[in-house]
């Protein structure tokens, strides 16, 4: 028992504690952990590309017709069929695609005639801008609302928060977007219409990051910056409402769970202030769960919201991937999938890292 107790977690059986505690051994453990993460990442991407590739090939869609059009004579069709390598066995096609990815080539998009990588660099920042701000709205408003609702369970404020959550959750985004446009753009004129920027400002700031807010600041062009901000208000508010509804609801639920625990009663009996009980003790204990929820919300927004992007004519990755699917543009679909997959993996890793910061037990 004594020997077993001296072993460090992750130490092979029989390795004494002194050896396990040595620098070399700690390095070995760290490397093994990093290797494990890298292996898991590689397997995730391999699986992601494989499944997407196979789905793309078995779907009754014809990528050749997306290029040549439905009226193409057979000889034109056959030529493009060969150019795309579709006459090769599917595993050869997949290996070629993988080889391309490893050399940084995601292929060329049918719908834009540009390298998929270039497209993603253009469309993804538009989605990042929207998703990040919407998540911020969701967190900044949703978390306090959820906490308040839990603290005042069954009272007016709780009902209001639940109503907001219900509305945000059940209203079709398409409808909400159109109504918001009708009221705030068409009737009141408070915000500009669909689009990322007024047409006369397009091309006025050089694309450095693709994020208009950042690029306009880098260029020192405040007119473009404020125009971009104006255009963001409505779509961010709509997407933010959904993020808010989800985050507020989950925060309320987590907090209610904690507030029923005995340690809360103990803290109150000890005479701690209500503020300390709620924010330091109860809220501190829901942080891990909240980070998961916020991370997932952000990742799902980074996938792109097709309907919001359609209503607001927002050139984001959601529209890009959807159009690519309709046009059998498999390179674009695969490229988009890899980006979305990377986001999920990245955000999950970030969440894991944050768990360790907020919860000592996870270290």
Partner 1 sequence: MGLAWKRPLIATGLLLSLGLAPPVMAETPPDMLVVGGRIDDIITLDPAEVFEFNGAEVSANIYDRIMMYEPENLTELVGGVVESWEISDDGKTITFTMRPDLTFHSGNPVRPDDAVYSLKRVVKLNKTPSFIVTQFGWTEDNVDELIEVVDENRFRITITEDFSPGLVLNALSATIGSVVDEQVVEANAVDGDMGYDWLKNHSAGSGAFELVTWNANETVVMESNPDYRHGAPAMQRVVIRHVPEPAAQRLLLENGDIDIARTLTPDQIAGLAGNDDIVVTDHPKATLYYVAANVAVEELSDPRVWEAMKYLIDYDGMEETFLQGQFVQHQSFWPKGTWASADAMPYTLDVEKAKALLAEAGYPEGFELQIDSLNTAPFMDMAQSVQSTLAQGGIRTEIIPQDGSALWPKYRARRHQLILARWGPDYLDPHSNADSFASNPDNSEEAGLTGVLAWRNAWADDEITEMTAAARSELDLERRKEIYEELQLLHQVRSPFAIMFQQNEQVASRSNVEGFVSGPVFDLVYYRNVTK
By CB under 8 A, what part of segment 9-38 binds partner 1? none
Q: How far is the CB of 193 from partner 1 (least distance, A)?
A: 5
Given 86, 229, 276, 288, the residue binding partner 1 (CB under 8 A): 229
Q: Which is nearer to partner 1, 102 or 186 (CB)?
A: 186
39 secondary structure, DSSP code: H
Determine the size of the site formed for partner 1 (CB under 8 A). 73
277 secondary structure, DSSP code: I
Tell me how far CA of residue 300 lies from CA of 40, 55, 239, 250, 285, in angstroms.
21, 21, 11, 16, 25
Q: Which of 30, 4, 7 is nearest to 20 (CA)?
A: 7
Q: Which is nearer to partner 1, 75 or 363 (CB)?
A: 75
> Which of 46-54, 86-94, 223-231, 288-296 is the region at the interface with partner 1 (rule: CB under 8 A)?
223-231
Given 135, 227, 285, 351, the residue binding partner 1 (CB under 8 A): 227
Q: Going by C-beta distance under 8 Å and a sequence separation of 6 or more, which residues neighbour residue 306?
A: 318, 319, 322
Give the helix ranges, DSSP H, for the chain.
2-6, 17-20, 23-58, 63-68, 74-83, 90-102, 116-151, 156-170, 173-180, 212-219, 222-259, 262-269, 274-275, 283-302, 306-311, 317-326, 330-358
- Told to check if 211 binds partner 1 by CB under 8 A, we report no
Q: How far is the CB of 357 from partner 1 (least distance, A)?
A: 22
Structure tokens, 223? 């007119």
Given 28, 50, 190, 263, the residue binding partner 1 (CB under 8 A): 190
Given 104, 172, 203, 206, the residue binding partner 1 (CB under 8 A): 203
Given 99, 326, 353, 362, the residue binding partner 1 (CB under 8 A): 326
- Told to check if 192 binds partner 1 by CB under 8 A, we report yes
- Told to check if 274 binds partner 1 by CB under 8 A, we report yes
Q: What is the number of other CB atoms lying within 10 angstroms of the CB of residue 103?
A: 7
Q: Which residues 147-166 are close enough to bind partner 1 by CB under 8 A?
A: 147-148, 151
The answer to whether the Cα torsion of 214, 217, 222, 223 is positive or negative is negative
Structure tokens, 83? 């150019």
Q: Which is nearer to partner 1, 143 or 354 (CB)?
A: 143
Q: How far is the CB of 54 from partner 1 (least distance, A)?
A: 17
Q: Which is nearer to partner 1, 241 or 351 (CB)?
A: 241
Q: Which is nearer to partner 1, 97 or 283 (CB)?
A: 283
Q: Which residues 51-90 are close enough to bind partner 1 by CB under 8 A?
A: 60-62, 65-77, 79
Q: Which residues 90-129 are close enough to bind partner 1 by CB under 8 A?
A: 109-114, 119, 122-123
Q: Write the burial class of residue 286 (CB in 10 Å: 0-12 exposed, 13-18 middle, 19+ buried).
A: buried
Given 297, 319, 331, 337, the residue binding partner 1 (CB under 8 A): 319
Q: Which of 243, 221, 220, 224 is nearest to 232 (CA)?
A: 224
């Amino acid at each position: 028992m004594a020997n077993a107790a001296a072993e460090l977690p992750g130490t092979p059986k029989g390795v004494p504690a002194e050896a396990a505690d040595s620098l070399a051994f700690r390095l070995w453990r760290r490397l093994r952990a990093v290797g494990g993460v890298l292996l898991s990442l590689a397997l995730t991407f391999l699986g992601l590309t494989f499944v997407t590739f196979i789905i793309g090939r078995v779907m009754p869609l014809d990528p050749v017709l997306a290029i040549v059009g439905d009226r193409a004579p057979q000889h034109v069709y056959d030529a493009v069929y060969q150019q795309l390598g579709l006459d090769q066995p599917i595993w050869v096609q997949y290996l070629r695609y993988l080889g391309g990815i490893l050399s940084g080539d995601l292929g060329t998009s049918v719908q834009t005639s540009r390298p998929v990588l270039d497209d993603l660099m253009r469309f993804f920042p538009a989605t990042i801008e929207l998703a990040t701000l919407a998540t911020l709205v969701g967190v900044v408003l949703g978390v306090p609302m959820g906490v308040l609702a839990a603290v005042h369970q069954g009272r007016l404020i709780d009902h209001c928060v639940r109503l907001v959550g219900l509305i945000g959750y059940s209203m079709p985004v398409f409808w909400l977007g159109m109504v918001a446009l009708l009221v705030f753009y068409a009737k009141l004129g408070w915000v500009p219409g669909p689009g990322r920027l007024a047409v006369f400002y397009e091309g006025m700031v050089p694309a450095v990051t693709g994020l208009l807010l950042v690029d306009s600041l880098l260029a020192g062009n405040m007119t473009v910056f404020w125009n971009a901000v104006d255009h963001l208000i409505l779509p961010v508010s709509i997407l933010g409402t959904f993020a808010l509804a989800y985050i507020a609801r989950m925060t309320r639920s987590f907090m209610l769970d904690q507030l029923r625990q005995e340690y809360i009663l103990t803290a109150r009996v000890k005479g701690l202030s209500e503020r300390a009980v709620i924010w330091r003790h109860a809220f501190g204990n829901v942080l891990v769960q909240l980070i998961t929820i916020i991370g997932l919300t952000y990742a799902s927004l980074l996938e792109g919201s097709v309907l919001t992007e359609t209503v607001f004519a927002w050139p984001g990755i959601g529209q890009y991937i959807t159009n690519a699917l309709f046009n059998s543009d498999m390179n674009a679909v695969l490229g988009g999938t890899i980006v979305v997959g990377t986001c999920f993996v990245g955000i999950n890793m970030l969440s894991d890292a944050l768990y360790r910061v907020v919860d000592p037990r996870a270290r």
